[in-house]
Amino acid sequence: MTGVPITNTPQRATVDDARLVSSTLARAFGDDPMMRWFFPDDPSREAGLGRYFTTLFTRQYAHHGVCERTGAAAAFWVPPEGQAKAVPDAETVQELQDILGDRAPLFRDTVMAAAEHAPQEPHWYLAVIGADPAAQGRGHGAALLRSGLAQ
């Protein structure tokens, strides 16, 4: 029996895709040095990352950004008109703090420091892009980048 091919054709991601998107990104960022620091416990890292990406996706980017996915990758872009709305509200911040625990203050400081260096003119912002390690090198990330840049 052959497996079902995983397409690398980008399609718009909706809140209904949250499980697929968040699990894909959790695997993609499982060995990222910064994410390993924010989620230091190896056995629970993927679950923590899944909660983190689910929160960002369902509470922010799915509503105020352009989110796309392939069969094994996802990307969150913020268009110029969505910049002000893409800032997390108090409830989202609290949920992220609950997920990050004692690492939350440093995460907040990191995000604020990066925001100070953001361009002031209208621009598209690539907030997140990642591919499942099992599918890396098969054009998923490139397809998402091409699609986002075309917009």
Q: How confident is the model at residue 5 (pLDDT cuts 50, 70, 90)?
A: low
* Site of tokens 């709305």: 85
- Contact 67/12 with Cβ under 8 angstroms? yes
Q: Cβ neighbours of residue 133 under 8 Å, at least 6 residues apart?
A: 27, 28, 30, 31
pLDDT for position 3? 53
Q: Cβ neighbours of residue 113 under 8 Å, at least 6 residues apart?
A: none
Q: How confident is the model at residue 1 (pLDDT cuts 50, 70, 90)?
A: very low
What is the CATH class of 11-150? Answer: alpha beta
Average pLDDT, the chain: 90
Q: What is the pTM of this model?
A: 0.89
